[in-house]
Amino acid sequence: MIARFLVIAALFAPVPGGAEQLANKLFGAAKAPSQQEAAPIGTYARGCAAGNVELPESGPTWQAMRLSRNRNYGQPVLVQYLEDLSVKATQIGWKGLYIGDMGQPRGGPMTSGHASHQIGLDADIWMLPPTSLTLSRAEREKISSIPVRSADQRSVTKNWTPQHAALLQAAASDPRIERIFVAAAVKIAMCKTAKPADKSWLQKIRPIYGHDTHFHVRLKCPAGASQCQTQTPTVSQLSKGGNGCDETLQWWVSEAYLNPPKPKPSAKPAKPVPRKKGPRDYTLADLPAQCAAVLSSR
């Protein structure tokens, strides 16, 4: 009841100068999920989540990390997926999984970190194989994951193991998965051992910056989730049926991308380009209309 009052008070509180409240402040203030039917609303990077559920802080094959962030929430399908994957982790030789950030109790933009993770269908999984599944809350704040890519981004480090590859294959082979984000070096390593039959799952593993110590799983919009906007498939997925080990990956390891040429001095100063509005700039009006009801719901 108190949590609901605080959210509603923040939602309608006046802002100096007549400016609208930032959405990340509103959703960050929500301490518990809305008591609504589960529904991901909007897009992964512009939306919210009705009826999220909490991933238990600890389970037989997982632990949620950095509990102080209060980001171990997601749609029921995500929580079930993570629990299922943690069991599969034990089948490759790990004790289970350390689960990083999922989403906020009611989803929405965050005050720090992720641009996505807004509709209850994203989660980060640490590359660190668990050594204990009985860590205290304090221990989970201090422990860190491990990097698996080299400084030049071209190769994996000695931290990368066959078990990591097996875990990613299991994660991507699940039909609930839309795509999985990893460091480019991880994709390169997996492509070196890829087989022709691996296209169905390997194409879901996508290189991107900022994923040196974890991999990011993203689920498809669940069946019947009419307010959830799925991602457009990539060109290679649509027309080539490839696994992303060809020119798509080569772009990531090209000299032009990793070592871009310095811009030539110009006689005329370039006009400043207005900064594009991002998730931390969104107000409630920038999100789907249903998100106001998610915030004000019990």
Amino acid identity, position 239: S
Q: Which two tokens stand for residue 131?
A: 């050594």
Is residue 267 pLDDT above 90, yes or no? no
pLDDT per residue over 155-198, tens digit each? Answer: 899 999 999 999 999 999 999 999 999 998 999 999 988 888 88
On average, the pLDDT of the chain sits at: 87
What does each C-alpha distance from 223 to 84, 91, 162 come to in angstroms?
19, 29, 34
Q: With beta carbons less than 8 A apart as the criterion, state whether 288 and 29 touch.
A: no
pLDDT per residue over 22-74, tens digit each? Answer: 999 999 999 999 999 999 999 999 999 999 999 999 999 999 999 999 999 99
Between residues 9 and 252, the one the model is more confident about: 252
Instruction: State the Cα–Cα distance between residues 241 and 183, nearest whole angstrom.
Output: 22
Q: Whose structure tokens read 């238990």?
A: 56
Q: Which residues contact 23 (CB under 8 A, 6 or more apart)?
A: 108, 109, 282, 283, 284, 286, 287, 291
CATH architecture of the domain covering 32-231+244-256: 2-Layer Sandwich (3.30)
pLDDT per residue over 270-294, tens digit each? Answer: 666 666 788 889 999 999 999 999 9
pLDDT per residue over 203-237, tens digit each? Answer: 899 988 888 999 999 999 999 999 999 887 654 54
Between residues 150 and 264, the one the model is more confident about: 150
pLDDT tier for residue 12 given thresholds of 50, 70 and 90? very low
Q: With beta carbons less than 8 A apart as the criterion, state whether 51 and 294 touch.
A: no
Instruction: State the Cα–Cα distance between residues 185 and 188, nearest whole angstrom.
Output: 5
Q: Which residues contact 65 (CB under 8 A, 6 or more apart)?
A: 98, 99, 100, 126, 140, 143
| Sign for the pseudo-dihedral over CA of 286, 218, 52, 100 | negative
Render 90-108 in DSSP notation, one character per residue.
Answer: HHTT-S-EEE---B-TT--
Amino acid identity, position 216: H
* pLDDT of amino acid 194: 83
Rounded (10°) CA dihedral 245, 246, 252, 256: 160
User: Which alpha helices (DSSP H) does the chain contain, by range?
Assistant: 2-12, 23-28, 76-91, 137-142, 162-173, 184-192, 199-202, 235, 247-253, 255-258, 290-296
| Sign for the pseudo-dihedral over CA of 87, 88, 94, 99 | negative
* pLDDT of amino acid 275: 67
What does each C-alpha distance from 257 to 219, 250, 260, 266 come to in angstroms?
28, 10, 5, 22
The fraction of the chain above a pLDDT of 70, given in percent, is: 81
